[in-house]
């Protein structure tokens, strides 16, 4: 009987092939944070890179008028405050003079009680007038602070009604002119095209193979061609959808066309 001799030669393990779509690093759904009628929704901007102009404008006519009136009120209040602060200086000096006169009068034996009482009353009147203006100044300052806060709030609301994302790509516009925008209403989906990425899902054995070689030490091949790319990040927790796999991200230079499906290997 012949004996068969089997030779087991080391076989290089083939790299696992992944496929991923070139996509923007960041894509987000923009939602309204204010309410109002949409007076402009530029549907021509859909599918293009946005400029400085708002592609969605929510009615802000009343807000603009309110802001203008608030600014005028602040100017008047500041003028009133300045006038009262000037008055306060004079009233303080007057109250001090009245007090000094009363202090001298009350020690004079030749002064009648009526004269002393009149001097005291004049001092108290001057002091009360001083304190009244001082209190008014505090009220004016509080009012100016409230108006300043109102002005900031109105500016914030107006800015949020002017929806613009210069340099971003408008993938989808979800509203129309004449529609009422409430807080939380989806407005648009935009993407950042300044950099691309590939998302791949790796098995634990790929992240670190039995020989102890980490995937971050391997060279990345795109469409069977070696690259100088590297893994930007590996998520530590297994993916919710791909339960036994771990999400990894590769950042790409802008030369890679978006939405193209590419072949990826780690060797």
Q: What is the pLDDT of residue 11?
A: 38
Task: Report helix, strand or coil for 11.
Answer: coil
Residue 260 is assigned to a structural domain of this protein: yes
pLDDT tier for residue 8 given thresholds of 50, 70 and 90 = very low
- Residue-level pLDDT at 105: 87
- Pair (246, 177) in one structural domain: yes
Residues 262 and 176 in one domain: yes
256: left (phi over 0), alpha (psi -120 to 50) or beta: beta
Q: What's residue 76's pLDDT? A: 97
151 plus 211 within the same structural domain: no
pTM: 0.76
Q: Which of 160, 182, 212 is the last residue of a domain?
A: 160
Whether 252 is covered by a domain: the verdict is: yes
Domain carrying residue 119: 61-160
Q: Are strands 186-203 and 56-58 parallel, antiparallel or unpaired?
A: unpaired
Residue 61: both structure tokens together: 């006519």
Q: Are residues 154 and 185 in the same domain?
A: no
Measured CA to CA in angstroms, residue 180 lies from 21, 49, 63, 117, 249 at distances of: 36, 25, 16, 71, 39
Identify whether residues 72 and 201 lie together within a single domain.
no
- Give residue-wise pLDDT tens across range 243-257: 788 999 999 987 788
- Does residue 13 lie within any of the structural domains? no
Residue 1 lies in a domain: no
Where does a domain end: 109, 142, 160?
160
Q: Does one domain contain both 176 and 142?
A: no
Q: Which residues contact 258 (CB under 8 A, 6 or more apart)?
A: 22, 23, 24, 193, 196
Q: What backbone torsions phi and psi does residue 127 show, to the nearest 5 degrees? A: -65, -40
pLDDT band at residue 53, thresholds of 50, 70 and 90? very high
C-alpha–C-alpha distance, residues 81 and 65, integer Å: 24
Q: What is the pLDDT of residues 77-123, one digit of tens each?
A: 999 999 999 999 999 999 999 999 988 888 888 888 988 889 999 99
Per the CB < 8 A criterion, the answer to whether 244 and 203 are in contact is yes
Q: Given a cut of 80, is residue 1 above it in pLDDT?
A: no
Residue 39 lies in a domain: yes
Does 3 fall in a domain? no
pLDDT at 10 > cutoff 60: no
Residues 194 and 223 in one domain: yes
* Structural domain count, the chain: 2
State the pLDDT at residue 117.
86
148 and 73 in a common domain? yes
How far apart are alpha carbons 243 and 26 in whole angstroms? 24
Domain annotation covers residue 257? yes
Last residue of a domain, one of 136, 160, 184: 160
For residue 238, what pLDDT band results from cuts at 50, 70 and 90?
Answer: confident
The mean per-residue pLDDT over the stretch 227-239 comes to 89
d(CA 105, CA 54): 74
Q: Does residue 10 lie within any of the structural domains?
A: no
159/198 Cα distance (integer angstroms): 35
Q: What is the pLDDT of residue 14?
A: 57
Tens digit of each residue's pLDDT (9 = 90 or more) over 140-171: 999 999 999 999 999 999 999 999 999 999 99
Same-domain check for residues 66 and 135:
yes
* pLDDT-above-90 percentage for the chain: 73
């Amino acid at each position: 009987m012949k004996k068969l001799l089997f030779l087991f030669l080391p076989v290089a393990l083939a790299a696992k092939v992944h496929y991923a779509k070139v996509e923007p690093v960041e894509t987000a759904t923009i939602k309204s944070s204010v309410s109002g009628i949409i007076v402009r929704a530029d549907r021509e901007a859909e599918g293009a890179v946005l400029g400085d102009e708002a592609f969605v404008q929510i009615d802000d006519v009343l807000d603009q008028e309110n802001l203008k009136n608030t600014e005028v009120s602040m100017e008047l209040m500041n003028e009133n405050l300045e006038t009262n602060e000037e008055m306060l200086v004079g009233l303080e000096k007057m109250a001090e003079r009245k007090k000094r006169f009363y202090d001298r009068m009350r020690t004079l034996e030749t002064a009648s009680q009526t004269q002393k009482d009149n001097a005291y009353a004049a001092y108290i009147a001057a002091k009360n007038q001083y304190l009244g203006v001082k209190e008014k100044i505090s009220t004016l300052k509080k009012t100016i602070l409230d108006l300043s806060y109102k002005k900031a709030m109105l500016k914030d609301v107006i800015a949020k009604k002017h929806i613009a994302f210069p340099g971003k790509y408008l993938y989808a516009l979800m509203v129309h002119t004449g529609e009422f925008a409430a807080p939380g209403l989806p407005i648009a989906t935009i993407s950042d095209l300044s950099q691309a990425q590939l998302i791949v899902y790796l098995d634990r054995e790929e992240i670190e193979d039995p020989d102890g070689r980490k995937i971050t030490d391997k060279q990345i091949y795109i469409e069977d061609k070696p690259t100088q790319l590297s893994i930007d990040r590996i998520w530590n927790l297994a993916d919710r959808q791909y339960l036994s796999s771990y999400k990894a991200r590769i950042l790409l230079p802008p030369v890679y066309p978006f939405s193209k499906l590419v072949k990826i290997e780690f060797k």
